């Protein structure tokens, strides 16, 4: 955070110096606050935890739920989940919104998530990106919690859903939204690396 027109600092505030010189030449008292300095300011980090609730996560759903509760928060956060039944039926649930307290009812909704249907990553990421761009703050962050197995009933090209997810991540970046992924299946990491790059992490067994 840059502070201008300060009584002391590391650098001169040129606008304040010019104003002081004009005042002196005009015969008026000059303002002596002619310095500028910078101070650290904690960024507001809006984080949206997006849980893959598709059928393939049945074996790791408790790990995803616990990870959502355990992740360190640096500001407002939300917990949403999704699954799909074709491109026209993407089910998106708001378990906890940004302004909701993390109370017993919210935790009950989170622990009540059940794995079902399919995994259309791109559509869910686009909707999460749309929601978080409405938030004020310095940082906007979508963290996907998944087993890393994109699939849907109307998709027969094996690489299509990964390519679509990659495009959704690119679109989010253009809107200044950081998208990262925490994956519970080590065998899926290689395929997801092309989507999330360095923003991909493995949810290890000891984290569950």
What would the mean pLDDT of 196-200 be, rounded to a whole number?
91
pLDDT of residue 3: 67
pLDDT in tens, 135-187: 877 688 999 999 988 888 888 887 899 999 999 999 999 999 999 999 999 88
- pLDDT of 39: 65
For the chain, the three-class secondary structure string (H helix, E strand, C coil) is CEEEEECCCCEECHHHHHHHHHHHHCCCCCCCCCEEEECCCCCCEEEEEEEECCHHHCCCHHHHHHHHHHCCCCCCEEEEEEEECCCCCEEEEEEECCCCCCCHHHHHHHHCCCCCCEECHHHHHHHHHHHHCCCCCCEEEEEEEECCCCECCCCCCCCHHHHHHHHHHHHHHHCCCEEEEEECCHHHHHHHHHHHHHHEEECCHHHC
Q: Which of 190, 26, 50 is nearest to 124 (CA)?
A: 50
Q: How confident is the model over 182-199, as a mean pLDDT?
A: 91
Residue pLDDT, tens place only, 14-39 = 888 888 888 888 888 777 788 887 76
Compute the half-sphere exposure of residue 184: CA atoms within 13 Å on the CB side of its CA: 25
Confidence (pLDDT) at 1: 53
Alpha-carbon span 23 to 125, nearest angstrom: 56
Residues 56, 147: contact at Cβ < 8 Å? yes
Residue 129 burial (CB count, 10 A)? 22
Q: Domains in the chain, ordered, with CATH? A: 2-38 (no CATH), 45-207 (3.40.50.410)
> What pLDDT score does 44 carry?
60
Across residues 3-10, what is the average pLDDT? 75
- Mean local confidence (pLDDT), 121-130: 96
Q: What is the pTM of this model?
A: 0.76
Q: Among 10-19, 106-115, 121-130, 181-190, name the one with the lowest average pLDDT.
A: 10-19
Q: Work out the average pLDDT over 55-59.
A: 91
Q: Is the pLDDT of residue 208 over 50?
A: no
């Amino acid at each position: 955070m840059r502070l201008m027109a300060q009584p002391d600092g590391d650098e001169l505030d040129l606008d304040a110096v010019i104003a002081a010189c004009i005042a002196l030449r005009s015969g008026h008292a000059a303002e002596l606050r002619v310095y500028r300095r910078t101070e650290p300011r904690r960024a507001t980090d809006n984080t949206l935890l997006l849980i893959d609730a598709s059928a393939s996560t049945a074996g790791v759903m408790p790990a995803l739920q616990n990870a959502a509760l355990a992740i360190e928060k640096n500001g407002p956060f939300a917990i949403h989940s999704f699954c799909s039944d074709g491109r026209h039926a993407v089910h998106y649930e708001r378990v906890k919104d940004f302004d909701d307290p993390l109370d017993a009812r919210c935790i009950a909704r989170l622990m009540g998530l059940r794995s079902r249907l399919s995994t259309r990553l791109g559509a869910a990421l686009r909707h999460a990106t749309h929601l978080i761009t409405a938030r004020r703050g310095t940082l906007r962050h979508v963290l996907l919690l998944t087993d890393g197995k994109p699939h849907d009933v109307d998709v027969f090209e094996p690489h299509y859903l990964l390519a679509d997810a990659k495009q959704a991540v690119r679109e989010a970046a253009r809107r200044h939204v950081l998208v990262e992924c925490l994956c519970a299946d080590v065998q899926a990491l290689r395929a997801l690396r092309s989507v999330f790059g360095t923003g991909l992490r493995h949810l290890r067994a000891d984290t569950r």
